[in-house]
Amino acid sequence: MTRPPASARGDAVCPVPAPAELAGMAVRALREEARLSPKPGLVDRRGGGAHDDMDLPLLLASAEALRPTFLSVAAAARRTAAGVGLREELGRLGRAGERAMLRVTRGVNTHRGALWALGLLAAAACVARDEREAAHGAARLAALPDRWAPAAAASHGERARRRYGGGGARSEAEAAFPHVIEIALPRLRRARAAGLTEDAARLDALLELMSFLDDTCVLHRGGLEGLRVVRLGAERVLAEGGAGTDRGRAALMDLDGRLRRLRLSPGGSGDLLAAALFLDSVFSTASSQPGLLNRVFLNRAPFTLPHGRWSHADAEL
């Protein structure tokens, strides 16, 4: 998967960061997503959101525990040709990283889905010229078999998928992260261009994800009605002007209170926001123009729940 230098390719793209830099960017994306406040139902600087087993210090420690894994993943992708061998190496590294994370968190699943997403993207970013190319490289890796992968456990996300259908984190990756590329990044960059603060721009990107994503974290806790609350609530905040306006901020706080009361945590949207922040930091000069929406994954039809389901609870590299 070795990539020639930019001068040999004849392009003007900035050199791809070294593995240590990519690992640092991945950890920073996780930490910045965790610190972003106020996030409805999610852990942030104010507390645990809808969780009673997580807080901000735990998420920050979890993110730091994954640094060696992201470094190893990027280094493996830099030296190894893309193929089943690399996929199996990434799987081995990801499982070791998950064990390290769980040791730090004493068994709390803080970043399993984010490890899957950012691990694949960090590997693919080693040989990509922009975020779209990185997402497609990650998709090719995700689609490869890993003979050493354990059988899928009956996690919360897995049970929600069995009940409501859909493909989950693996399908999101195999489809080249459409929610990240076509929703989160364009919204983030439009908000910045409109003059919003960085926090407000990131919150609007999170809300846009929440309004589209069929999150099995939410489905597990609240079923279809819980998903309706999350999606319509996020749409309302954006319709009121988003996190950068007084009316939008009031609607955001209303949604946060409701999700806390209902114990609904849109963790999948948080994971994908972290993935967007990672790609944005790696490819900061990439075009902000959105492409065509993936209509299979980005279907807004109420509760048909076609295929665009994500859960941080059960992904595995």
Query: For the domain that residue 292 is a member of, what is the CATH number?
Result: 1.10.4200.10
pLDDT at 220: 85
Please report the pLDDT score of residue 309 as a whole number: 45
85 assigned to some structural domain: yes
Residue 6: inside a domain, yes or no? no
Residue 5 lies in a domain: no
Cα–Cα distance between 112 and 169 in angstroms, integer? 10
Q: Does residue 316 form part of some domain? A: no
Distance of alpha carbon 206 from the chain centroid: 10
277 inside domain: yes
Answer whether 111's CB lies under 8 Å from 101's CB. Answer: yes
pTM: 0.86
Q: What is the pLDDT of residue 294?
A: 41
Q: pLDDT 10s digit of each residue in the chain, 317 long?
A: 555 444 333 333 445 789 999 999 999 999 999 999 999 999 999 999 999 999 999 999 999 999 999 999 999 999 998 899 999 999 999 999 999 999 999 999 999 999 999 999 999 998 899 999 999 999 999 999 988 778 765 566 667 766 776 556 788 899 999 999 999 999 999 999 999 999 999 999 999 999 999 898 898 889 999 999 999 999 999 999 999 999 999 999 999 999 999 999 999 999 999 999 999 999 984 344 444 334 334 444 433 333 344 444 445 55
Report which secondary-structure segment, H or E, holds 162.
helix 156-164
Residue with tokens 């114990």: 263
Count up the domains in the chain and report the number: 1
pLDDT at site 149: 79
- Return the SS3 of 213: coil
Residue 282 lies in a domain: yes
- Tokens representing residue 139 in the block: 């998709």
CA distance 32 to 37: 10
Q: Is residue 12 part of a domain?
A: no
Residue 19 near residue 75 (C-beta atoms within 8 A): yes
> Across the strands, what pairs with 310?
215
Q: What range defines the domain where residue 296 resides?
A: 17-147+154-310
Q: Other C-beta atoms within 10 Å of 50: how many?
A: 23
pLDDT at site 304 = 37
Distance between CA 196 and CA 188 in Å, rounded?
10
Q: How far apart are the first and last CA of the chain?
A: 18
So what's the pLDDT on residue 300?
41
168: left (phi over 0), alpha (psi -120 to 50) or beta: left
Q: Which residues contact 245 (CB under 8 A, 6 or more apart)?
A: none
Burial 242-253 (b: 16+ CB within 10 A, else e): bbbeeebbebbe
Q: In angstroms, rounded to a whole number, what is the distance separating the alpha carbons of residues 254 and 258?
A: 6
CB count in 10 Å sphere of residue 219: 26
Within a domain: 2? no
